[in-house]
Structure 1
Amino acid sequence: MADKYYNNTCKEGHELQLKSTRDDNHSFNYFFECDGCKEEGFGSRYCCYSTGTCKYDLHEKCRNPSLTIQNPPHFPGRNFYFLQLPSASSQSSFCVACGKQISGFLYRSEYMSGLDLHPCCLTNLPLNISFAGANFNLKYYVVGGSEACFRCHKTTLYVPGTNIQGPGGWSYESACRAYWCHVYCMGEFRMDIIRDILLLMEKEGVSWSKNNLRRIALKLLSAANTVAGAILGQLGDPTDALLEMTGSG
């Protein structure tokens, strides 16, 4: 019996190949939507190099995901099984970690009803995140309280494009307890940072390298018109954080 779901070709049958951010001098077009989990991605992925119109992209981990995951970090003692899509009876399936609706690949608890997660949320969420001199710890609930999430400035997440309140999801809280952020917003925050970096790099016409990234990171902090600059300006020097977040450290 196979222990993985094999997804080695695009919908038109073309062989998928690994594309790395280091394949080209510039990486300004390296955002993509994964055709497996339907979540946004950046950087290396498997894709179709055919001249056709398939435009098929997969996160590296979505190419051959495990059919079962036992004892994942956030759910010791539990088993999860892989599904390509939520079942017809649960089309409004939401990830218990990030609170977002699930539209593609997911993992479902074997014994606990309603416990669904995106693949990346089940296996990739760190217990701790450190950047700009601040340490953030994962909490299996929304911290809330009198302060709002430092990115969305809200305590409640809503289904995108609606006024419908979504599930709470989890959050990250700073060790000093002065800041907190939804898990979903932390992921968006990372993308905000990368987008701002790429815009500055494209404007200056420079290649993706550690030295250029470090210089752009410092410039980002002083760029008052950038989302990431505005947020990181509250926390300190973002250089090391940006290097870590973009895998260039």
Structure 2
Amino acid sequence: MSSIVKEIQEALAVLSIPEKAEFFPRFFKTGKGEYGEGDLFLGVTVPDQRSVAKEYYSKINLNDLSELLSSKYHEHRLTALFILISKFEKAKDQIVKEEVVKFYLNHLPHVNNWDLVDSSCYKILGRYAFENQKENLLRELSESEDMWHKRIAVVGTMHYIKKGSFDLTKEFVTRNLKHSHDLMHKANGWLLREMGNKNETELTDYLNKYYQEMPRTCLRYSIEKLDENIRQDYLKGRI
């Protein structure tokens, strides 16, 4: 183990909260057959992880960061992703940004829970794809059989939504509208809701076409911010 990785891991260990270490495995569904099966937790809060990442992002290189991101401990991986986001956002050289994106794609097997996905994908991959017209990077993930890849793709379009571009979000939601896992229903509904926050007409036009075939969780997430009367019309099939 490199000295910098050991130093980061020790910094996180000091911040461990026993009650959190006991709670997180249940919260992130680590039981047999659950989506986070086998994941291990130290019990470090996200704000504390962000603080560690802020301290070390400029001190660690990608080779050593690979070691941290490959850890069996969830907080090591999330802290590594926070570091990677900082490296991407602060990079002034396009070559450095491309190296970060390549690193992220090469380490997708370790981006393997919803918080790891949601915290990182649109800030790195989504932004890069948008700024460089590389939509196929996300599209290939949307077409993958791996659920985390699919979630990375659709949540990655958050950056597009923030910029007022909605077609890619609608494409990916539609492709995986009837996915078998609840985590995809939630992600799809969340991104549709964000689209509606930016442009309600875009959301209602999409809902009018697809709401009757949406999983109920997806529908509820997507209409959460609409007027209550309109919400009830969708929920009761009156549109």
**Where on the TM-score scale, by shorter chain, does this alignment land: which range?**
under 0.3
Structure showing the higher helix proportion among its residues: 2
Structure in which a larger fraction of residues adopt strand: 1
> TM-score w.r.t. structure 2 length?
0.27
